[in-house]
Structure 1
Amino acid sequence: MSNVVNLRGKQPDTEKITINLGFVDLGRIDLLVQEGFYSNRSDLIRTAIRKQLDTHDADVVRTIERHTMELGLRDYSAADLEALRDAGEVLHVKVVGLARIAQDVTPELARQTIGSMNVLGALHASKAVKEALADRIT
């Protein structure tokens, strides 16, 4: 029995983005952080984004329903895709959130079973699978 824990397999639960802000807006953010309203710049920005998303929650729900998209986390394993292949079916992925294609999915299996991918958020897959599906990812 080992007490060594493998942390490499853990997927991050956030995605890093970069934004450009004007000096005045950045100064105002820094002032609020300095006054203790927020712990740091990222805290303020995350809070502002969540509040803005909350104001559009009904719009997001209607759009997801209209596009028949899945909301949240969607995992695709090799077994899932093999079952689709064996049934002669093709998958059209539509996810708002995070779509993960397991590391044991080969590029060939992905091309055989995934007809299109529309992921609003993030797609985690091996580089080889992403390259194999490049013409199907929108």
Structure 2
Amino acid sequence: MIVRHVTINAFSNTNRQAIFQRRQQKREIQLVRRILILVTMLIVIGIPYCSFWLHTWCTGLSPPYAERLSYIFIAFGYGASMLYILVSTSKVRNILIDIYNKRYRGRRVECANITNTQAIQMTVQCNT
């Protein structure tokens, strides 16, 4: 009986450890994925600025529109990265979804189990 208990506990402990390791690996993959997406976004945002800088460095002349375009790309890019951070965080995303559902989906008609006489009484009360 004791041997049986020890083998069962040993198996369940390894199973628990495997489950814990899978969860930890899943969290680590999500973390790496989020970091890679943010780095990629920032690199894409910086491409116009770097291209204008290289053009200025090589030719010595800067286009008149270079600063404006690069600042626009940087501003929109940082805004997009902040939105991505908000949406990718699960707790913040759930809070935003709850706020949206309360505001735009709060006044919906719900099905109720009522008889025809109750429905007729309700329509009569609403019409008067």
Q: Which has the larger radius of gyration?
A: 2
Structure with higher helix content: 2
For normalisation by structure 2, the TM-score amounts to: 0.26
For normalisation by structure 1, the TM-score amounts to: 0.25
